[in-house]
Amino acid sequence: MEGLPLLLYKLANVNYEDEKSCYSQIAFALADFHLPSMTEEDYENLNEEQQNIFKKQNLRVERTLRSLIFPALRNRFLPSSELEEYIKELTSTAKAFKHFGRC
């Protein structure tokens, strides 16, 4: 969760007026947020107990994002009238399943 303020900062500073730049900046912000907080080499240098603690922390962060943060953004985010015209729903799980569910 320590990376969440930086993610929100980066998303707040995205150029939402240029479509190509907007998508690129959002993608980079999300990718940077989801990067592991340590390298594989650092992880391998931890003892077993430290590795278990790290795994538990990562699971807790993932659960928090999936069950609290993302649903809250999806359900309660109200863009200003200036931003409203630039924000569009690209897809949803239901639409994707309807399209790809038969594959």
Give the pLDDT confidence of 7-57 residue by residue, as tens digits.
888 989 988 888 888 888 988 888 888 776 777 788 888 999 998 998 898
| Pair 94, 49 in one domain | yes
- Same domain? 9 vs 43: no
Please state the domain count of the chain. Answer: 2
- Tokens found for residue 55: 């795994």
Q: Which of 35-44, 54-63, 65-74, 90-99 has the lowest mean pLDDT?
A: 90-99
Q: Same structural domain for residues 55 and 94? A: yes
* DSSP codes, 54-86: HHHHHHHHHHHIIIIIHHHHHHH----HHHHTT
